[in-house]
Structure 1
Amino acid sequence: MEFFRREELATNLAKKVLEVSPTSASSSGLFLAAPRRTGKSTFLREDLRPALEKEGALVLYVDLWEDRSADPGETIVHMVRAELAKHEGVITRLARSAGMEKVAVGGLSFSLDRIGLGDGISLSTALAELSDEVKRPIALVIDEAQQAIASEKGNDALFALKAARDELNSSRHFGLRVVATGSNRDKLAMLRAGRDQAFMGAPLINFPTLGMDYVQWFCHRLNLGAPLDPARVYELFKRASFRPELLGAAADAVRFEFGLPPDQVSTRFAEAIDEQIAESEREQLRVVHNLTPPQSTVLRVMAVRGEKFAPFEAATIESYNAVLQATSPNVDAKIDVSGAQQALAALQEKALVWRAARGVYALEETGLATLMASAGMLDDVPR
């Protein structure tokens, strides 16, 4: 499959990530934020990974959303185990350091399950041995990294990576860089904003959206019976929040509209973009409209409060009940702390709300609050 390449951006970013300088904080980790479905993960796999490898790094990549049912901490450790399994010398040394005198690499005498976050071989030790084996810097690329703080094991994994980073960035080894990306800037910031976070102070930047060069590439490869004006398509792309899949879906809608006159292709493509946007918004709101009154109430208050949302404070409970009375006057019920907990748990199951292990809640999709506001669903929430 052909991909749009962002090689210049990838090369520039790879050089900055691997730079060794007393004036750079990139050795602490780099955090990239971008909305979902804007090409971030494709860039990581198809552009940044090869660029880092070209600069001499050993790249380990993991997507914490690939298996939402797996604990993110275990997913991170599994990534490291998978790479270690490729290096018999590392396995042998680790096994012996753990007190295993008889080592049968690939056999039953040594289990990679012992390389983890608890007793046995630490993640830091394992990565240090790997660094010494390959004699080059290691770059860990963690996509949707905010999921790591959604579990205790995930938090533990981050601190294990911090310990590994501190060790590998010493003069004894070849360096470790952590590139963490996420689809929600506020959630991603939690990994590096506080003293109790493993990557406190690491730079957090907005990942550049796809631009006119992508739109020109896209238009050049279309075969809709008539060319599209890239300048006009770019305006549509902005309206679609820079999501490539909406352009592709609109193109498919036009492509399979048999008998469409060439002089109507451009107009029909613009209509198809609007249809795709409307369908996406309808789908999000459909889930919201199917919530129970307490669930809908808690979601509305959270959408308005944003970062200041404190779900169990007395003032918030009061807001819940004011909204519940305004939006569902026929419901004979009140929301207390227990009811709020139940509603939040249900919202998590429906993938509308995200929860960090330390009890901080946030909307799963940052754009949902704007969408709910435009639909008038937040009008009754006290400010």
Structure 2
Amino acid sequence: MPDVSIFHRPKLAGQLADQILHTSPTSASPSGVFLAAPRRTGKSTFVREDLRPALEAKKAIVIYVDLWADRNVDPSELLAAAVRAEMGEHANAVAKIAKGFGISGGKVGGIDFSLDRIGIGKDVTLAQALGALSDEIKQPIVIVIDEAQHALTTQAGMDSLFAMKAARDELNSSAHFGLRLVCTGSNRDKLAMLRNSRDQAFYGAPLVPFPHLGEDYIDWFCKHVGLPAALDPAAVFELFKKAGWRPELLGAAADALRFDFGIAAGDVPSRFAEAVDEQIEGATSETLRVVRALTPLQTAVLLVLAQSGDNYRPFEAATVEKYRESLTAAGEPAESAAKVDVPSVQAALQALQEKSLIWRASRGVYALEDASLREVLLDTGSGADPAAPAQM
């Protein structure tokens, strides 16, 4: 029986699975499919609980890896570990590799071969390992990489993406049984870096906005919420939109009411609406608390980055002048603004990374860590154009 503690989306999962596995000479899907959705809107849960089972129901082997599972581990190693784990389930594929390369090591399934020799810069490439796996299972393989943009943060991570491209090209030939890549990410701009440029591994792959949860989810939520009185789905749906389509905010609001043992049934709808507003305000306040603890220059750099988006060039003269204008607009002394230079900007960017406010690709491209931060900054007036009259 399905788990009633999780809202399932079988129709969407089936549609996506069909498209992912679809083979057509006019389709770019074999290049990989990219699904973008804001963080905490249910994307990862859907991938694990719905999409993976739907792909497996269509006789595909699914290898899932979350590149945010351990941010202290290089993304390339997380990806290689996921491939090794699947290989460990197929002794004949391991035997084929061991025989072909004459490698000995730890015992795996009675075979003299150590799986830790598979990976970037190892004895056995990811393409070779996946090729052997494809020949053994005679089924399509789907590799799902959650938070795939994190691979761009290290050179080894970027190399692993090209290794996946090599494996994809090989396994989609007539000699094997197919490989599909599904990359998900919480920031559309960062995810697009994987497929917008000709020098990226998945140039031209489809980038699909992941559908947010809708009214059917709200109907399910209201049915299972378990409060002393029923909630009106139409009213809750409006609250859900206000909460940025984030189910965890509705859940947290419901929890607040569950532990209010003196609440009257007639007060439940209004108190639930208040609790959702409190959750939204709390999430925004925590973000702003971190922002307001920044140094003036760190704040200026963050605001200019938020305003510039894809056009952000951190060290150009024009950008440095924007930092100075932002400092002046915030009331900083003219001599402080005049001291802004490339080394001080580098230090500010490093500090913002350490505070998890910005993200840096290995090639020096910067973006906001969470795309919702820009909206928070602009909504509160903190992100006003530094060239405009001061609003502070």
Identify the TM-score tier after normalising by the shorter chain. over 0.9
SS in 2 for 1:27: helix
Judge which range, 162-171 or 112-121, deviates more.
Answer: 112-121
The one-letter code sitting in structure 1 at the alignment partner of 2:253 is A
Aligned to 2:384: 379
| Correspondent of 1:49 among 22, 47, 52 | 52
* Alpha-carbon separation, structure 1, partners of 2:122 and 2:254: 54
Contact (CA 8 Å) 1:38, 1:209: kept in 2 or not?
Answer: yes
The one-letter code sitting in structure 1 at the alignment partner of 2:139 is R
Contact (CA 8 Å) 2:140, 2:177: kept in 1 or not?
Answer: yes
Query: Deviation at 1:329?
Result: 1.7
Counterparts in 2 of 1:379 and 1:94: CA distance versus 1, 3 Å: same
Judge which range, 168-177 or 77-86, deviates more.
Answer: 77-86
Matching of residues 146-157 of structure 1 within 5 Å? 146-157=149-160
Contact (CA 8 Å) 2:35, 2:182: kept in 1 or not?
Answer: yes
| Correspondent of 1:370 among 375, 382, 390 | 375
| Correspondent of 1:266 among 252, 269, 272 | 269
Query: Deviation at 1:99?
Result: 2.5
Contact (CA 8 Å) 1:355, 1:361: kept in 2 or not?
Answer: yes
Determine whether 1:336 maps to 2:344: no
Determine whether 1:166 maps to 2:169: yes
The one-letter code sitting in structure 2 at the alignment partner of 1:373 is L
Indicate the RMSD between aligned Cα atoms, in angstroms: 1.6
Counterparts in 2 of 1:108 and 1:90: CA distance versus 1, 3 Å: closer
* Alpha-carbon separation, structure 1, partners of 2:15 and 2:103: 44
SS in 2 for 1:121: coil
Contact (CA 8 Å) 1:92, 1:105: kept in 2 or not?
Answer: no
SS in 1 for 2:108: coil
Aligned to 2:126: 123
Aligned to 1:33: 36
Aligned to 1:196: 199
Judge which range, 325-334 or 4-13, deviates more.
Answer: 325-334
* Alpha-carbon separation, structure 1, partners of 2:293 and 2:99: 57
SS in 2 for 1:231: helix
Aligned to 2:278: 275
Cα distance per residue 1:309-347 (max 9 Å; x no partner): 000001111111221233252485322111111111111
Number of aligned residue pairs: 383
Contact (CA 8 Å) 2:107, 2:114: kept in 1 or not?
Answer: no
Aligned to 2:187: 184
SS in 2 for 1:378: coil
Matching of residues 336-355 of structure 1 within 5 Å? 336-355=341-360
The one-letter code sitting in structure 1 at the alignment partner of 2:381 is G
Runs of 4+ in 1 over 4 A off after TM superposition: 101-104, 106-109
Cα distance per residue 1:224-279 (max 9 Å; x no partner): 11111101100110100110000101111112112212111101111111010000
* Alpha-carbon separation, structure 1, partners of 2:335 and 2:56: 62
Cα distance per residue 1:58-114 (max 9 Å; x no partner): 000011111111111111111101111111111122122222379843579422222
Query: Deviation at 1:222?
Result: 2.0
Contact (CA 8 Å) 2:95, 2:111: kept in 1 or not?
Answer: no
* Alpha-carbon separation, structure 1, partners of 2:92 and 2:29: 30
SS in 1 for 2:34: strand
Judge which range, 192-201 or 98-107, deviates more.
Answer: 98-107
Aligned to 2:74: 71
SS in 2 for 1:32: strand
Percent of residue pairs bearing the same amino acid type:
58
| Correspondent of 1:96 among 99, 102, 112 | 99
Contact (CA 8 Å) 1:240, 1:277: kept in 2 or not?
Answer: yes
* Alpha-carbon separation, structure 2, partners of 1:18 and 1:285: 43
Query: Deviation at 1:122?
Result: 1.1
Query: Deviation at 1:294?
Result: 1.5
Cα distance per residue 1:91-149 (max 9 Å; x no partner): 12212222237984357942222211114211101000001111100000010001011
Aligned to 1:359: 364
Normalising by structure 2, we get a TM-score of 0.94
Judge which range, 116-125 or 245-254, deviates more.
Answer: 116-125
* Alpha-carbon separation, structure 2, partners of 1:240 and 1:332: 42
The one-letter code sitting in structure 1 at the alignment partner of 2:237 is Y
The one-letter code sitting in structure 1 at the alignment partner of 2:151 is A
